[in-house]
Structure 1
């Protein structure tokens, strides 16, 4: 087959149409990838331009040369701008003014003033060299390691095009060329140039397709190994690095540490400010953790608010503790969020969280990646139990405790389903009249195998797992039912106090629940008292006042439980529409032996009365304690001095005895 310019041109036109279709499909399927869209326009412009050159002699020369070559320049600029967009650079329409418009003007000038083939082709080659040089510059500035092979090929092809254009310019300046048609004619001194140029053009398009394919594959790999929000390694990549590190450290005899982090109070931020603010907070957390690590260390996000840090080649086990302390300190500082609740259109604000960290060591604690992660997770829960905002190392004792905890959680879920929970009632006594005026409802677990299980053993697990929501609702409903039974039996009205978990504030509509239960049971709202701890109120202080006011509007009494052990801030206390302060048992235990506790208790009583609250003391067990409280003006008490918490039937007997005593008087 005869190899000439015209045949090569026809083949190139077919190539451009094929790649135009390929880029059109890519742009449609991946709209966020800008390069293919520009390369589609480039293929269409180049196809039209080269088609115009091939039709020279069929259409007027001025149209063929000026328009066709202008479209060819336009295609070159689109190729370049596609490269810029592909590598994340901006582009402007002014790029066409820098190349296409001057080229068109010069081509028109030489067609009308100096109809010289060499001059026209020199103009085209000069502009092609400039466009190619700028494209190479942008690729060199922005190329990534993941695309290094493809970008090197592209630079090689475009660089070869530049060399060919220089050779062509030299040839055109030295060898005279007829003004006759050289595409269809026999006189083709730059035949070799056109054939090589057409081949390079096809190669360049093929490399662009390869670039797109490599970019998409790289993004798939990143999705598989990186967390999309923080761009940190995910669990899969972490496990790979951890296994690799274990193999390396096993040969070298060095140590590694794994730090499992869980953010404290993160869910509160999510609930109050929305997921947009929560996502921004996670990104800032990732940045702060990374700033405390060496370049060789790895921080990964496991999901939610859990992060994990891999410290390789540590000299001493305590090195991990030092890093943990730095991370805890860094995450304890306030975070400034630029975005807030998108629904409320609130401005950004400062939030404060913290972190609990569990540490496991290689080879002391385990010799496999999965076991190291499990043990770090175990230690992290120990840190949470120790008060949060701290770290804890793994130990065998912790493993046993965690296994028991998991077993207890499963049994607790079963207990809720099988209705093994019970409500016990502890009398609340009016100090002045020595009469039962109310009771605190306390949940107990009646296990078929272990008997009565105290709340201290299962309530913390219920709080962690969210089971407290179902338990709290059941206790409220059962207490109101029992209270209505006592009213129907003719006993004097009692105030029944039910504890409310902070999670009930955050995760359910407590106002709607109370209204539903009261309507269902018929229990008077004025005889229901909801108890909340200081810490629970402070965790939800932004919306707690509104919630408490709504409860107060229903007629519900409100009490602060365990007062004195939390924040104890008068500034906040005045904001809450509270009826009762309950002095924590820890202040009552050492009366009258500890002067400090006596003074604190007396101060709370006086302060409560000044603010208009009733004051109730918890945990009264001796006559001396009761006498002290009576002397200081305390309103009521509860404790073993009168009665421990008892089932409803036993509490009914206490009410019956009091009723008979009052009737006798």
Structure 2
């Protein structure tokens, strides 16, 4: 395997060459000072000794300046030594000759030394600045890549980690840039305090830090402690005027990559640590992840799915199908659940199981929700207007979407744009919508209910909603998940459970619908237990818009 020479090694080689060149010139100047010959023949030209001395002195000065630029620390020391030696040589020439004719040879090294020291201080400052993050004072991305290359060149095992402060943008938006800078500084102090001398901390960009761990250090053990949520006091102006001081919780997500197991160059290692970080950020269980090949394959699939979603939204590959819902007592049409499908230009159908999970892992799910809401309302608005019936159009909304502050206002804007009757719109949410942003979710639900929009709790029985939460939810419809219906006709325990769910729904002043009903035996059991509505292949599969209109006719 061919070894790549690092920038540090190249600098050392250049420094040595310049130093050798300077010494050769210096030896030449010294010999000229000792020689009695006044005229030298060089390439056919006659040059006085002093001219040749001046030329060699200029070359020496040039090499010394180059040494400072090659490496401001080692180079300045080598240059200072050479110039100081030249000064001694010129001074001794004055004493030997008992004449001031060699005085320019003394002044020249002094001027050179002063110039070298000035250049050294300015170049040192600019070099340090170029390697330093201005906010935290840590080494920056440029220095990180250099040190990473040096570690790889040494061919010793080590690990790198990418860390990101969670929700940093939100903190920046709420409290301002100054508080954001303060948080970055405090996080840098906390991380640096815990690191050993053999481990290096860097600030890369935004709220992202990296650490290069020595091979003997256990990166996972250190990061497990480092990423735990911590309370940070915030230096807010309003708080200074009172005794109450606000704090915020700061936590990290972290991804780890190992050399040489996960990569043999800087780009590979950094990319794979970043892949592990992306997975850690999305994980609801652990915010610490070490790279594996499976993660990279999942990341590739995620990117491919996201590209397909964007392409489908731009080129109208998406379309809607509608599954009818019926009253169980007399098989009267209640309305339709709206389902999204994707069809490529070659005619192939892409399963929602391939693109919906990918959309939920990104903000693309918000665009899909808006697409379905707007298209379903536009399609059914004239149908409902012509028929004069209050059929329900039920639309699924992601937990991420309904937990956003502006969700209800966006739905109201689409209703106004399409002129769709709010009493015919039903928003379906899942139990997972209540796991996070519960207060915001309930606020959005109440806002929509005030204009007549109905709310359904979908997939009931598969989440972790407590009875107390359910009793306080402002919903209209409870949907029993298909997994509870599958064996209802043969399993008495399941029948009792479904009966309890239906009873609880009615206590909550909700109507109850069973999903995934596939045969008449299930219909009979649900009817006996006073379920209100059914949805499933037994009475109607998902159909196109035109076929859905035929159901109404």
TM-score w.r.t. length of structure 2: 0.66
Which residue of the other structure, out of 427, 433, 438, is the alignment partner of 1:536?
A: 433
In the TM superposition, what are the counterparts of 1:425-504 in structure 2 within 5 Å?
425-449=322-346, 451-490=348-387, 492-504=389-401
Answer 1 or 2: higher relative contact order, Cα 8 Å, separation at least 6: 2
* Structure 2 residues without counterparts, runs of 5 or longer: 1-72, 77-113
Residue 577 of structure 1 aligns with which residue? 474
Which residue of the other structure, out of 259, 279, 284, is the alignment partner of 2:161?
A: 259
Offset, 1:372: 0.9
Residue 239 of structure 1 aligns with which residue? 145
The 1:588–1:226 alpha-carbon spacing in structure 2 relative to 1, beyond 3 Å, is: farther
Check conservation: 1:428, 1:438, Cα contact below 8 A.
yes
Residue 525 of structure 1 aligns with which residue? 422
Check conservation: 2:403, 2:441, Cα contact below 8 A.
no
* Structure 1 residues without counterparts, runs of 5 or longer: 1-145, 150-205, 657-665
SS in 1 for 2:412: helix
The 1:577–1:222 alpha-carbon spacing in structure 2 relative to 1, beyond 3 Å, is: farther
Aligned equivalents of 1:427, 1:295: Cα separation in 2:
67
Offset, 1:365: 1.5
Task: State the Cα deviation string for residues 24-79 of structure 1 (Å, max 9, x = none).
Answer: xxxxxxxxxxxxxxxxxxxxxxxxxxxxxxxxxxxxxxxxxxxxxxxxxxxxxxxx
Task: State the Cα deviation string for residues 437-474 of structure 1 (Å, max 9, x = none).
Answer: 12222222221136221222222333344223332222
Which residue of the other structure, out of 530, 535, 550, is the alignment partner of 1:653?
A: 550
Which residue of the other structure, out of 349, 352, 363, is the alignment partner of 2:260?
A: 363
SS in 2 for 1:225: coil
Residue 199 of structure 2 aligns with which residue? 297
Which residue of the other structure, out of 278, 289, 302, is the alignment partner of 1:405?
A: 302
Residue 372 of structure 1 aligns with which residue? 269
Say if 2:460 is the partner of 1:554: no
Aligned equivalents of 1:276, 1:536: Cα separation in 2:
34
Check conservation: 1:491, 1:655, Cα contact below 8 A.
no
* Max Rg structure: 1
Task: State the Cα deviation string for residues 303-329 of structure 1 (Å, max 9, x = none).
Answer: 4454444322147xxx4444454445x
How many residues of Structure 1 are paired with residues of Structure 2 in the alignment? 439
SS in 2 for 1:539: coil
Offset, 1:266: 5.9
Aligned equivalents of 1:374, 1:341: Cα separation in 2:
40
Offset, 1:422: 1.0
Say if 2:316 is the partner of 1:419: yes
Aligned equivalents of 2:184, 2:349: Cα separation in 1:
42
- What is the root-mean-square deviation in Å for CA atoms of aligned residues? 4.2
Which residue of the other structure, out of 207, 217, 231, is the alignment partner of 1:335?
A: 231
Aligned equivalents of 1:442, 1:485: Cα separation in 2:
20
The 1:354–1:583 alpha-carbon spacing in structure 2 relative to 1, beyond 3 Å, is: farther
Aligned equivalents of 1:266, 1:604: Cα separation in 2:
42
Q: Which moved more, 1:515-524 or 1:395-404?
A: 395-404
The 1:492–1:225 alpha-carbon spacing in structure 2 relative to 1, beyond 3 Å, is: same
Offset, 1:637: 3.4
The 1:338–1:262 alpha-carbon spacing in structure 2 relative to 1, beyond 3 Å, is: closer
Offset, 1:476: 0.9
Check conservation: 2:433, 2:441, Cα contact below 8 A.
no
Check conservation: 1:355, 1:389, Cα contact below 8 A.
no
In the TM superposition, what are the counterparts of 1:41-80 in structure 2 within 5 Å?
none
Check conservation: 1:565, 1:584, Cα contact below 8 A.
yes
Task: State the Cα deviation string for residues 518-556 of structure 1 (Å, max 9, x = none).
Answer: 223222111111223333344223433333322222221
Structure (1/2) with the larger helix percentage = 1
Offset, 1:478: 0.7
Check conservation: 1:292, 1:326, Cα contact below 8 A.
no
Check conservation: 1:426, 1:441, Cα contact below 8 A.
yes
Residue 225 of structure 1 aligns with which residue? 132
Aligned equivalents of 1:588, 1:285: Cα separation in 2:
51
TM-score w.r.t. length of structure 1: 0.56
SS in 1 for 2:324: strand
Q: Which moved more, 1:475-484 or 1:459-468?
A: 459-468
